[in-house]
């Protein structure tokens, strides 16, 4: 049975016989199960995609040129970019503090370099 063809040709008062009605219910049930199965597959694939996107992001981060700079060079850059901090009642303006929040490696480097503070 071609469902679309039947829908187009049927007028009001369409009354399928019991065998045709049974076939429609079976087809509907099978189609709903197939749809549910496909939706589960889509969810699984989306989860895999998110995991791969995260992995690609992490791997790209490992290749960043800034990671290849030796700590001594980073410290020279930090000293140039970090004038004295200003701490008052109204505000805290500390470039060293900002730099220390970029990543764990920079935080450790800055915290272990008293000359920057």
Does one domain contain both 57 and 29?
yes
Total domains in the chain come to 2
Render pLDDT for 77-115 as a digit per residue (tens, 0 to 9): 988 887 766 555 665 667 888 888 998 999 999 889 888
Kindly tell me the sign of the dihedral angle through the C-alpha atoms of 30, 34, 35, 37. positive
Q: Which residues contact 61 (CB under 8 A, 6 or more apart)?
A: 67
Rounded distance between C-alpha atoms, residue 112 and residue 95, angstroms: 16
Does one domain contain both 98 and 76?
yes
Render pLDDT for 72-81 as a digit per residue (tens, 0 to 9): 999 999 888 8
Does one domain contain both 81 and 47?
no
- Residue 44 is part of which domain span? 18-63
State the residue for tokens 């895999």.
48
Residue 112 lies in a domain: yes
What is this structure's pTM?
Answer: 0.57
């Amino acid at each position: 049975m071609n469902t679309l063809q039947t829908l187009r040709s049927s007028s009001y008062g369409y009354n399928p016989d019991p065998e045709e009605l049974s076939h429609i219910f079976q087809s509907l049930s099978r189609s709903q199960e197939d749809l549910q199965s496909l939706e589960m597959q889509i969810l699984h694939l989306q989860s895999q995609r998110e995991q791969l996107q995260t992995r690609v992001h992490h791997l790209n981060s490992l290749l960043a040129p800034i990671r290849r700079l030796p700590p001594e060079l980073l410290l020279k850059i930090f000293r140039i970019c970090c004038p004295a901090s200003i701490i008052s009642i109204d505000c805290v303006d500390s470039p060293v503090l900002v730099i220390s929040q970029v990543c764990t490696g920079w935080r450790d480097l800055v915290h272990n370099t008293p000359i920057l503070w």
